[in-house]
Amino acid sequence: MYAITIPEPGGPEALVWDEVPDPVAGEGEVLVEVVAGAVNRADLLQRQGFYNPPPGASPYPGLECSGRIAALGPGVSGWAVGDEVCALLTGGGYAEKVAVPAGQLLPVPQGLTIDQAAALPEVVCTVWSNVFMIAHLRPGETLLVHGGSSGIGTMAIQLAKAVGAKVAVTAGTKEKLDRCAELGADILINYREQDFVAELKQATDGAGADVILDNMGAKYLDRNVRALAVNGRLAIIGMQGGVKGELNIGALLGKRAAISATTLRARPAAEKAAIVAAVREHVWPLVSGGHVRPVIDREIPMPDAATAHRVVEDSSHIGKVLLVTPR
């Protein structure tokens, strides 16, 4: 098969479409013939040499994909060769084939094409596990999403609105904020021109956000705590703004607030399977019913993954960028 390899870390040009050995489905795994994958910022870090796959994982980038089951490994039940699926991966999505633990598979939802389904697993599992399973966003509460026009952001807006929450977002352009509004965002904040703490306080009569989904890390830590409501929950899922920040413990105590920080890739397979099962139970009916949809900016041929990485690196996209395998 062919896959995107990274002979040496570097810029987008470091991504090379090359012939590699076919993967084999092991115990409890299935082999998926990939139709499409999606680009995540973690892939950019891996390309740069900063985010190596966990031991035993595929060396190729790609944390989600869609395709058709080509073979079943020993001990797999409930799936059949030919089933159209999408999958949460530890790596290997930028390839023509990938071996996946059966617990990380999801059927392609009704109403979506097999290509479109590639935009779902990583973002839905990230949002559902952090905003709902950990931070316990409830109807009537306010969620602040940083990077509202990203793949994560566009999904978080829709899921929060689906459960009856109010949604605030930050983004850097009017076009991106307008798209967030179309998805249901109630409070629109241009982080280049406005102070999100002040804007959020004004829009919530001084209360702040009950839950904040943060991709920035250190840069926003102090302001995020100030933006939290009493009993608020800050869920950190990225570090685009750095890894070391100063935390005012007194402010956190005064608000009886909580901070969580998670990654998805390195979690044990059993934890990922539990998240995937929860997503299938709670989110898949919303997708099949048309209440939640992936936002896809563009599709790019997988051999040209370098172009896709440049798009994501420049933040010139809205939603997800897909990579489609040669047909």
Residue 241: pLDDT over 90 = no
**Distance in angstroms between the alpha carbons of the first and the last residue of the chain:** 13
Amino acid 327: pLDDT:
81
Amino acid at 306: A
Residue ranges, CATH 3.90.180.10, the chain: 2-122+265-324
Q: 68-90: per-residue pLDDT in tens? A: 999 999 999 999 999 999 999 99
Residue 255 DSSP one-character state: T
Q: Is pLDDT at 204 greater than 90 in this prediction?
A: yes
Alpha-carbon distance 203 to 91, whole Å?
Answer: 41
Q: What percent of the chain has pLDDT over 90?
A: 94
In this model, does residue 101 exceed pLDDT 90?
yes
| Per-residue confidence (pLDDT) for residue 117, from 0 to 100 | 98
Asked if 134 and 237 touch (Cβ cutoff 8 Å), the reply is no
CA distances from 147 to 100, 205, 216, 291, 293 (A): 30, 23, 9, 21, 18
Q: pTM for this structure? A: 0.96
Q: How confident is the model at residue 4 (pLDDT cuts 50, 70, 90)?
A: very high
Backbone angles phi, psi at 56, to 5 degrees: 90, -10
What is the mean predicted confidence (pLDDT) over 137-150? 98
- Domain 2-122+265-324 CATH assignment equals 3.90.180.10: yes
Question: Which band of pLDDT confidence, cut at 50, 70 and 90, is reported for residue 107?
Answer: very high
- The mean of the pLDDT values for the chain is 97
Per residue in 120-131, pLDDT tens? 999 999 999 999
What's the pLDDT at 300? 98
Q: Which CATH superfamily is domain 135-261 in?
A: NAD(P)-binding Rossmann-like Domain (3.40.50.720)
Positions of CATH 3.40.50.720 in the chain? 135-261
Residue 239's pLDDT is 87
